[in-house]
Structure 1
Amino acid sequence: MASKTDQLLIVVSILEGRHFPKSPRLSLVVQASFDGEQLATDPVEHREQPQFSTELAWELDRRTLHQHRLQRTPIKLQCFAVDSVSKKRESVGYIVLDLRSVQEVRQEPRWYPLLSSKYTKQRPALLLSMVLENDTKPSGPSPDRFKAKKAPPRQGSPAVTDLLPDKLESVLIQDQGYHQVGPADHCTDMFVLSVTVAFATKLEQLIPSTMKLSAEGSEFFFYYSLLGNDITSEPFHNLLSPDFEPERASVRIRSSKKILQTFLSQQPSLQIHLCCGNHSLGSTDVSLSALASVSVDLESKAETVEGAFVLQPPKRNKQMLPALPADMQPTVGVSVTLRREDVTPQSLRNKEGSGAQPQSVPPPSVPSAEQRPQSSSPGGKPPDPSPPRRSLLPPSSHTESEAESLLEELQKGREQTGREQMGLAAADLEVPVQQQSQAEAAAEGGASSISVSAPRVSIPSTAHHYCFSLDLCSLGKFSLTHPIAATLRYSYQFFGSAAPIMTNPPVELQRNMEVSLPQSFCAFDFAALPQQLQDTFLRVPLVVEVWHRDSTSRDQLIGRASIQLSRLLSSEKSRFLTPAGEQSWRQTHQDRIPVVNAQRPSEKVAELSYIVTLEDLGLVKATEVIVSQSSQSEPLHPTQPPSNPVAHRSAAPSFPSDPPAPTAPRDTLEYRAALELELWKEEQEDLFDDQLRKKELSHMRALAEEWRRRDREREALVKKKEVEYNLLEEQLQKTLSDLEKREKQLAEAELETQRLQRELRAEHDLTQRELKESSRRLQQECDHRVALERDKVRLMEEERARLLQQISDCESRYKQLEKEFQLYREQQNIRPEFRLQSEINLLTLEKVELERKLESTTKSKLHYKQQWGRALKELARFKQREQENAMNRLKKQQAELEAMRLRYLATEEKEVVRQDRQELDDIRNELNRLKQQDDRLAPPSSAPAPSTGVNESAEEHLSRLLEERDTLLRTGVYTHEDRIIAELNRQIQDAMRDRGTL
């Protein structure tokens, strides 16, 4: 369980907004969600600049914070527009915040634009700030308990502790390279807080069996946070015997003894994690309470907390790992030291017993632009000959620190291995970089105070020694109306320093004039691969910023100029000889580039004239890493501290003293150069052969060590497997007992299932009866409908017969009329014409009327024929459908009757068989009784009779079994595969076998 000081608060301050359209009906609400918990602000007016002024906070401990940072858990802010009438919410946009950028030091608020905003014409933004605060809520059962008031201060100056706030915080002073704790007027002393991770043992116990120890790409490292700076050790691969070098991380603190002790008493324990990639395998807490004790004397000695601390696995892995004895616990050796900066630790005094004077570590200073040779100030102080430097080679992705305390390691190296080895270490030390937050702070011009000691030489054999120089000549064609005090500033991290290079002092630049820039020449020595150099120069330009420095206001960015270093690579190469007589190459490029406005990139402000030079000094060799004491103390030309130098190289040429006049051909420079070239070739061949032999030996040793390491890993895995198998055996026993309980539960469930089956059968029978009743009702209804249809058909037939009768009457009448017409015509032949005409007219009228009646009769006849045909067809369909339904019902009923008959026959046969068996048993008992009476009455000579009785009983038993089997098979319910038939067959075979033996 975490202590009180481990509790933190993630505080997100939502201050105000901008570029929102004005809407009186709506209001704005910001809702923040983190780790499944949602918080929201109060509604504010929907205007152009809404004022939220709200802080949202989440509680968590440091370990949970570390897990969230590893998993990159975001903080999502979603802005809603709420209708004041309908209370309907509509999303305006959202913002995603990165938890890894949250620090314990309060930072300036920043504007964050809304993503996926519905206001497309404008771009709304929110002013936000994030900070980590220690949770100082009161503990105890009663928060309102009585608390005594503080005594009034005495007359005079108040005590320092009375002036301190309740919660002390460390503030990073970037330009000075230290952290400040407490008020500035009370911080009079400088302290150094160091953390050393020395060793680790039994780390394989933290690895679950599902994870391979020798998986490709699996690197392990230790991680901890020191005053808000994330520190990781050098990665290692072997968990059985970790081979990492002890690393010390130091931070410089400006404070006083009492204030610092109060600050340390408020700090939580130092958590050290063993990590693999983004996962924590185990952690331990190192308490800093001993450093905050009142009895600690920091005036003359250092206070140290050290020991072997047990690493505890995280909660998700505790169930997968068995309980371990005390001698098998994974441990890590940690030492935490607090001392004054002017006090040398006892360990350093023991190691420097050879006479080296202890010296304090100078704070890293921000490098300024180097003066040009022709304008160097006479009183200028040369830079530190061995400043902290960064490796240009790709560092490990897990180590995070600055390079300040490397000077202490270099101080030891001077006394142990001489100046040449010191120069090599200073040139080739690989110093890892910090995370994104520290990199941004360094890019702003500050130097962090955190440092890690890791004395390792890491330069590939194919790396070249380069010297890059940049001379900013002049600024001209200034287009602004008002004059400015111009200062140029640039930084290029590829050269190893994120600190900016600036020209000093500022020069006055007016409209349409050109001025030269003082102290604008700077040279960088570094080591890099040629391909890496080309890729970086082609991809990353060097950006020069023009600033206006005003004593009465803040510095103002005027414009930027982008120098394309790829043009330098395409320039012509020229050959030259180094002072050592070696052949090198030089490339120079001169150009004028525009300075564009920082606010409007399309507007040109001025022109910058510059000269860049790149010198390739050849491959990195040990003979080049020689830094003499004189060159360190009195450099010929002050140069900028290099990033990953191969040797300290002066930017200005050194002029050797005039040699005496040559007296012989062997004393000429050409002869010496040729002789040195031949000697150099022989030396290089010897070095090459020696390197080959060393590589072969190192490879063989690495193979042997890898074999031994893997053998030890296999042994450790076998031991872990044994422990895990024992645990699995216990789990198996528990599972067996659980299975027995489950079998009992299954038996009970089976009984319950049988009961449910009986209930379902009863429900099925009830459903069958209901179906039969419904089918009977449907039958009656169909019969009724058929009778009605039959009545309709009978009526239609009667109507048809009537119509046929009418037709026949009409036809007979028609024939009669035709006969009368013939008779009439015959009579007309003898009558006068007028009588004939009148009769013709009458007959015509009658004919028309009869024809009309005949036509109507014919139409009605056709109509009735059609109706009769339709009725016949409908009747045929009804008959066919009814026959089909009747056949289906008849078949179904016959099938059911047949099934019921078979069941009834089977039951009846069983009953008959049972009665027959009972009668047979009665007859057998009666026969046995009669036989016993006959035996008592018969003479003794009739002995073979019982044998005959036994044979008859066996025959009866066999015949009974055969009859039962045949009866069961005849029912059709049983087959030969059923269990009862198989049992009867077996009994029949036994009976036949017994009869054979008799």
Structure 2
Amino acid sequence: MASKTDQLLIVVSILEGRHFPKSPRLRLVVRASFDGEQLSTDPVEHRDQPHFSTELAWELDRRTLHQHRLQRTPIKLQCFAVDSETKRSESAGYIILDLRSVQEVRQEPRWYPLLSSKYTKQRPALLLSMSLESEAKPSQPSPDRFRAKKAPPRQGPPAVTDLLPDQLEASLVPDQGYHQVGPAELCSDMFVLSVTVAFATKLEQLIPSTMKLSAEESGFFFYYTLLGNDITSEPFDNLLSPDFEPERASVRIRSSKQVLQSFLSQQPSLQIHLCCGNHSLGSTEVSLSALSAVSVDLENKAATVEGAFILKPPKRTRQALPALPADLQPTVGVAVTLRREEVTSQSVGTKEAHSDPPPPAPPPAAQRPRSSSPARKPPASPPLPPPSSHTESEAESLEEELQRGKEQAGQLAAADLELQSRTEAAAEGGASSVSVSAPKVSIPSSAHHYCFSLDLRGLRNLSLTHQVAATLRYSYPFFGSAAPIMTNPPVELQRNVEAPLPQSYCAFDFAALPQQLQDTFLRVPLVVEVWHRDSTSRDQLIGRASVQLSHLLSSERTRLTASSGEQSWRQTRQDRIPVVTAHRPSEAVAELSYVATLEDRGLVKAREVILPDSSQSEPAAPPQSPPRPAAPGLNVAPLGPAAPRDTPEYRTALELELWKEEQEDLFDDQLRRKELSHMKALAEEWRKRDREREAVVKKKEVEYNLLEEQLQKTLSDLERREKQLLEAEQETRRLQKELRVEHDATQRELQESSRRLQLDCDHRAVLERDKVRLMEEERARLLQQITDAASRYKQLEKEFQLYREQQNVRPEFRLQSEVNLLSLEKVELERKLESTTKSKLHYKQQWGRALKELARFKQREQENAMTRLKKQQAELEAMRLRYLATEQKEEVHQERRELDDIRNQLNRLKQQEEDRLGPASSQSGPAPTQSLNEGAEEHLSRLLEERDTLLRTGVYTHEDRIIAELSRQIQDAMRARGGL
């Protein structure tokens, strides 16, 4: 795990913008993405100078930062214009930031232009600054430590390096085609910095046995960055024996020697990667410190760093590779050169073939390539960029191509003037003066003079939905020219329409061996690219068509005889080939028709051709570079002096004059055609705009008719809905009336049922009152009986006293008779008590049945009665319960008092009897006790039966007062029985 001091923050400050068009409805948002994480700023106003004032930061450690720098992970800033109403966002451009330029020292903000911006009138830009910040807090210096002050500077003129900023940067000047390092007042010299990748060995050691390369990753190539420009070499397929041409990438720098050396000393080492697709298989670093040494004299010679550098695999695959000895280490040969520019060189980022030893001279063309198309002229507009170019700035690459085209045109004009002056001097001075300085190129004796012509007839069967402004482009270096051949002007290609291609005929004269011609035609097809040119956007590649020249060799041969008597053979092939894209090779975008012709004019007569120096720099007809150069042993020297008109200089000068006249005629014809095409384009544009206006008017009429129909339909819908609404209102009133009548009837029924229920309840209450009155009368009768019994008891007591007095004379007889009499009275009293108890139990059973019947009636009435009646029933039920509870309580208290009186009387009788009889009457003592126990048992059973009867009715619960009172009496009776 990384320590706290290794934690860093990559901070990108987005300060403000400029050159944005004003739009009050839009808002600007900048979104930054790095390593899969996306951050965005707050929306700001879309005006000329929007102010963002936002910092975006990403946290990572030093090791991860180093890995990102090796992999060249970019920081991409995308600017979006967001509609504040529809929330729709549209890209306004983007900026690619290089992570390797981020330093821990705070840098000054720079203006970065937006690439691929939709605003073409002005080029918007953002003011940005990047820095690395450490998350660890800086340690506070100790108060005991002190630091010596710096010595004051010496008085004298300031050095050049003192006037420079701390961090030098190379800024591109697009219109001049060079980078400027340092202030403009100090930049007085022009330098050329070149990097050459020459060879590579033992590259197979970089791939472990466990690594699998994807099938989509075709070819290996070297990749490095030169002053912010991505450079890639030509791909090669074989790692065991890498076969690629040495390539040199050059950059023009405007600066001074001291400033440039200071700039190079600040630059990190040049990293060169061996790549396969998006994977880096190995890398090496080339130090630029030797170029910035003070001892280097750039005034007289160039500074060079060259050698074979060891390629090191990345850390993720280094453990899978075994340790290699020194002779098996993978190496790459690199040469970095810095020199002062003496002559005009190529523009920024151009790549040219380079080799330290001079390559063998290839057989030149027997004649100049002739063309009937003005496309063979030096291009006035920049050529289309190759699809495999690796550039970060599309706008800058287009400007560089434009500058390259201007320089090539200037070089061609200078070469023509120099060639003309040299041919005139050769005509005056003879052939001997030229042969000394001009190089000689040998042609094999068995080489043939060939003439190849290609006529692109037309395009048809376009499968795209939109219209295409088609321009065709192809190049075949075997014919002696690497410059691309393009058709001009673009043709409008539409679906189901065949578009002819004017001025698309081109012929090439070249010399080659027959076997070499067959091998090249069989191995290398002629690829024709179809581009769509748009004035408002970048050119777009539509597809490619491959012309198999091997089919031309198998066609029928025709003998031709020229006016001079020379014979030649001609082969012609006419065919239609599909135009396919790279991502959909099975589907044809369009169909191209062509006619190809090859003439074999026999052996080349000239054995040695003298080339002037200026012809080497002429881009229109460079020497042909076949795959296999001729052997130097085939050179044949001239037999003797030739006539002045037969010299190569004279023929070249004559051909140049004829070519100039032809070019002037072509130029005049082209001007006339351009004028006609412009007038035709203006007329077509006027007609097109008239048609557009008519179409817009018709479209508006159709829209208005549709809106009128919609309005009529809406009005009819509203009328229909209004009628439906009136009908619905009437239906609602009718339903309300019916509901009101039904509610009144229901209310009357409820009132009637309530009245009937009230009457029924009153009747039942009258019945209950009658029953209560009868019970009161029965109670009074029983009380009268008890009173009579008491009086009889008193009478008996008096008689018992009298009997005791009489028994004083005859105690046994009197006592026995009195006991018998008392037993009879006791039995009679018990019988009466039992009958009274039974009658009371019968009454209680009748009362329980009445309660059950009342409960069933109550349940039946509760199901049909309304809520208001429930309250009345509850009140009536509560009153009835309170009344019953009160009555039951009084009855229970009365019975308890009677039982207590009876118990007291029995106890007194028992006590009197014991006092009278004494010990002799102990045999008859248990009888009253037994009768008392039986009375208590009967009272307890009666209480239990009453409680169970009330509970079985369902009207009472254990929480009711009467049930609680019965339970308490039962417990008291049980305690009293236990006491007895």
TM-score, length-scaled by structure 2: 0.37
Highest CA radius of gyration, 1 or 2? 2
TM-score, length-scaled by structure 1: 0.36
